[in-house]
């Protein structure tokens, strides 16, 4: 037979898994750095260099970029910083994974613990929680048209949410910051913090526009001998673009954006003074773009000249239920766990959040987790005027998810979007956070599709047993096409005998005349 085929694509979540990876390494203090008196604050980001899909396992290779701010025994500067790249490589066992699958990897830093072995050596232990979502791409070659003369076909349509784009890309930003006039020139950067707020990707014509706000904090050694340690803050609007030829407005985009590698470089201004800070930031983008499509295909066929035997397969696909974002705002007062000295000023607050459990309920997704905040502040303590403290608070939040059932598929990204800290009366500090929940959900469906059709000889005995003229009462589920196939005639013939009827409903009465010309010729 002559027919045309088309590839139908579908994608579904195959497996989700959480794994904890521990990095444990001893690191020496560089010879150019002073002795470590006390570790004040630590931070780090993960760079995933390779993700290899294997049979029943996944290989993850990357680095944890550790940074630490510590107090020294130098009475003039009293602060210094450390940087280390801690490599890791892990093989994660997941039954059923094959090289053709796609994995989305998210991570959360559960804990960074440092222990001073001595003033020139420290032990760093990092706990990383990785969430892996393995997606499987379905593909079936489906018959969409049959060209043989005299073949009557039954066509059907299905609505599929097609994954048009699935890729990773990097958006790069470069900003030049100028020190405020009341700040002294920079001699050495001690500590920096770059936070992103309200970071979102929007689909445009063949591009993805990225908007948001970047907050930059800098703690540095200045050239003012009376006040050697100084700080500065900036708030910078973000607007950048990524080229994406496949995307157009109207498609549904889900753009996951995570701050990646960042570099700060001090440069001289036009007067030769070290007052310019060049910020080079990489934004790691996980791009998913969906489009609703109506796929037309041949579901059945018959002819008066042969018996047609179709071959079917089940096609797994998804349809979009909905996509939305929700924001949870929370605040909590904490007692300041100070050492000798009192709080003078909060310098900066960095935060994060982690999810412990997600449950599908009648009200939506019930999300339980914890948010954390690390506060860097100035103290009245002469020996250690810069101090740090950490706080955490559990949370429960319901994300509205209309129509979602436990059988359906969903993807939920949770990230802390904003965190601030303010001193209040007594020895307390109030931490305010905004947590962003980015949610998309799909109905999982199956549909029978025809992948092949073969011809066999007609069963003339069975055809002869069909009455030549029939008075038929339409039953539930009948169509003109199904009735015509059953009684070896055509839709046009039924319409001719029944005053051009276009549609039928249960209880309708039809006169049906069997087609006999083709049979008579063959006999």
List, for residues 239-269, the tens digit of each pLDDT value: 999 999 988 888 999 898 988 888 899 999 9
SS3 of 478-503: the string is CCHHHHHHHCCCCHHHHHHHCCCCCC
CA gap 192, 263 in Å, rounded: 10
Of all residues in the chain, the percent with pLDDT exceeding 90 is 60
CA gap 308, 488 in Å, rounded: 13
* Mean pLDDT to the nearest integer, 149-159: 92
Closest CA to 69 of 193, 184, 177, 186: 193
pLDDT at 382: 67
**In angstroms, what CA-CA distances link 474 with 272, 347, 368, 509?**
92, 79, 55, 6
| 477 Cβ contact list (under 8 Å, min separation 6) | none
* Mean pLDDT to the nearest integer, 77-89: 92
CA gap 41, 387 in Å, rounded: 8
| 192 Cβ contact list (under 8 Å, min separation 6) | 216, 217, 218, 219, 264
Q: What's the residue count for the chain?
A: 523
Closest CA to 284 of 412, 178, 415, 191: 415
pLDDT at 521: 44
Burial class (CB in 10 A: 0-12, 13-18, 19+), 444: middle
Beta strands in 336-468 (DSSP E): 343-361, 364-379, 386-399, 409-424, 428-456
* Mean pLDDT to the nearest integer, 378-393: 83
Q: What is the rounded radius of gyration, in angstroms, for the C-alpha atoms of the chain?
A: 33
List, for residues 453-477, the tens digit of each pLDDT value: 999 998 888 888 888 898 999 999 9
Q: How many CB atoms are located within 10 Å of the residue 477 CB?
A: 7
* Mean pLDDT to the nearest integer, 350-358: 91
List, for residues 287-309, the tens digit of each pLDDT value: 989 988 899 999 999 998 889 99
88, pLDDT greater than 90 = yes
Count, in order, helices (H) and strands (E) of the chain.
Answer: 4, 20
pLDDT at 83: 94
519, pLDDT greater than 60 = no
CA gap 9, 254 in Å, rounded: 19
SS3 301: strand
CA gap 197, 350 in Å, rounded: 12
CA gap 154, 481 in Å, rounded: 7
Of all residues in the chain, the percent with pLDDT exceeding 70 is 97
pLDDT at 89: 95
């Amino acid at each position: 037979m002559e027919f045309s085929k088309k590839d139908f694509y579908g994608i579904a979540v195959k497996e989700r898994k959480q794994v904890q990876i521990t990095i444990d390494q001893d690191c020496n203090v560089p010879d150019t750095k002073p002795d470590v008196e006390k570790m004040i604050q630590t931070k780090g980001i993960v760079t995933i260099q390779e993700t290899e899909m294997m049979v029943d396992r996944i290989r993850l290779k990357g680095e944890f970029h550790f940074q630490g701010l510590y107090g020294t025994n130098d009475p003039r500067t009293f602060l210094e910083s450390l940087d280390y790249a801690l490599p890791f490589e892990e093989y994660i066992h997941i039954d059923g994974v094959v090289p053709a699958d796609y994995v989305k990897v998210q991570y959360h830093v559960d804990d960074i613990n440092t222990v001073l072995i001595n003033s020139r050596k420290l032990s760093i232990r990092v706990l990383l929680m990785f969430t892996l979502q393995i997606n499987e791409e379905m593909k079936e070659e489906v018959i969409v048209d049959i060209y043989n003369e005299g073949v009557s076909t039954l066509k059907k349509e299905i609505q599929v949410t097609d994954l048009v784009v699935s890729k990773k890309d990097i958006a790069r930003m470069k900003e030049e910051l100028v020190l405020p006039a009341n700040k002294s020139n920079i001699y050495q950067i001690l500590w920096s913090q770059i936070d992103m707020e309200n970071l979102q990707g929007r689909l445009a014509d063949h591009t993805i526009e990225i908007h948001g706000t970047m907050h930059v904090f800098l703690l540095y050694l200045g050239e003012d001998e009376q006040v050697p340690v100084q700080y500065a803050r900036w708030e910078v609007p973000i607007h950048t673009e990524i080229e994406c030829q496949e995307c157009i407005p109207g498609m549904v985009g889900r753009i996951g954006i995570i701050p990646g590698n960042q570099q700060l470089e001090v440069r001289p201004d036009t007067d030769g003074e070290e007052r310019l800070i060049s910020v080079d930031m990489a934004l790691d983008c996980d791009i998913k773009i969906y489009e609703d499509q109506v796929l037309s295909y041949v579901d059945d066929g018959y002819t008066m000249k042969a018996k047609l035997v179709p071959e079917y397969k089940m096609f797994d696909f998804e349809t979009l239920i909905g996509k939305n974002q929700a924001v949870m705002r929370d605040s909590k007062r904490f007692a300041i766990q100070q050492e000798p000295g009192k709080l003078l000023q909060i310098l900066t607050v960095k935060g994060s959040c982690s999810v412990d459990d997600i449950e599908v309920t009648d009200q939506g997704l019930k999300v339980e987790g914890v948010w954390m905040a690390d506060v860097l502040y100035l103290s009245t303590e002469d020996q250690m005027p810069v101090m740090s403290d950490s706080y955490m608070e559990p949370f429960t939040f319901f994300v509205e998810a209309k129509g979602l059932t436990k059988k359906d598929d969903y993807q939920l990204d949770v990230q802390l979007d904003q965190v601030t800290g303010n001193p209040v009366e007594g020895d307390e500090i109030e931490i305010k956070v905004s947590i962003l929940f980015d949610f998309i959900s799909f109905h999982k469906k199956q549909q029978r599709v025809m992948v092949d059709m073969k011809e066999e000889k007609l069963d003339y005995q069975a055809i002869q047993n069909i009455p030549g003229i029939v008075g038929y009462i339409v039953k539930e589920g009948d169509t003109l096409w199904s009735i015509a196939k059953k009684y070896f005639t055509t839709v046009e013939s039924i319409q001719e005998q029944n005053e051009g009827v276009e549609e039928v409903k249960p209880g309708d009465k039809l006169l049906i005349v069997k087609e006999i010309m083709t049979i008579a010729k063959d006999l």
